């Protein structure tokens, strides 16, 4: 259920580009997930000025195996997508159908791509997972994973990691 849209984009050099931008990425599409985690997703290359530019459209990362969703956006360019949904009936319907099908799914919005990608790269850290499991033995797996993401995200943010740093 990954999805993309086409958009006209003007590079800072003035060149007009037709670009394909992903707005949701699902772990059922491993190649797209790899591109996201490597910082290659939604990066547009301009042949005229030879520059690669990341376009920060809000993106839903949907981890079907672990049962959580992360809305990643950049607060300098967009509003919180979850808050925005409240004003868009169509998107509420989609989210509702989605949550009915996959019960127990947890969603969260975070406002930095670099921080979010680094947190997702670290999410399998067994020490963090075990610490949460020990403290909250009754939590469902999806909540455990989302909490692990949240803690990694906070740690990365505090560590001074650049919010624009997509590549390792
Ligand atoms: Zn250019």
Q: Distance from the CA of 45 to the center of ligand 1, in angstroms?
A: 8
User: Which tens digit of pLDDT belongs to each residue from 133-161?
Assistant: 999 999 988 889 999 999 999 999 999 99
In a domain, 165, yes or no: no
Q: Distance from the CA of 111 to the center of ligand 1, in angstroms?
A: 26
Edge-to-edge order in the sheet of strand 68-72: 3-10, 16-26, 59-63, 68-72, 106-110
Whole-prediction pTM value? 0.86
Q: Does pLDDT of 116 surpass 60? A: yes
In a domain, 154, yes or no: yes
Is residue 55 within 8 Å of residue 21, measured between CB atoms?
Answer: yes
The total of structural domains in the chain comes to: 1
In a domain, 166, yes or no: no
In a domain, 53, yes or no: yes
Q: Distance from the CA of 57 to the center of ligand 1, in angstroms?
A: 19
In a domain, 168, yes or no: no
User: Which tens digit of pLDDT belongs to each residue from 37-82?
Assistant: 999 999 999 999 999 999 999 999 999 889 888 999 999 999 888 7
In a domain, 90, yes or no: yes
Q: Distance from the CA of 11 to the center of ligand 1, in angstroms?
A: 5
- Please name the helix (run of DSSP H) or strand (run of DSSP E) that holds residue 121, with its range, or none: helix 113-122
Q: Could you tell me the residue range of the domain that residue 9 belongs to?
A: 3-158
Q: Does pLDDT of 92 surpass 90? A: no
């Amino acid at each position: 259920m990954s999805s993309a849209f086409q958009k006209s984009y003007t590079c800072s050099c003035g060149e007009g580009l037709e670009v394909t931008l992903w707005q949701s990425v699902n772990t059922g599409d491993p190649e797209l997930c790899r591109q996201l985690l490597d910082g290659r997703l939604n990066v547009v290359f301009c042949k005229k000025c030879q520059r690669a530019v990341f376009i920060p459209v809000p993106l839903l990362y949907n981890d079907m195996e672990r049962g959580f969703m992360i809305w990643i956006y950049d607060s300098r360019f967009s509003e919180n997508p979850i808050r925005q949904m409240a004003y868009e009936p169509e998107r509420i319907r989609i989210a509702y159908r989605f949550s009915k099908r996959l019960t127990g799914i947890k969603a969260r919005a975070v406002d930095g791509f670099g921080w979010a990608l680094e947190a997702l790269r670290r999410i399998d850290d067994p020490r963090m997972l075990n610490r949460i499991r020990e403290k909250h033995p009754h939590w469902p797996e999806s909540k455990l994973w989302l909490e692990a993401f949240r803690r990694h995200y906070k740690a990365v943010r505090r560590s001074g990691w650049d919010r624009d740093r997509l590549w390792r």
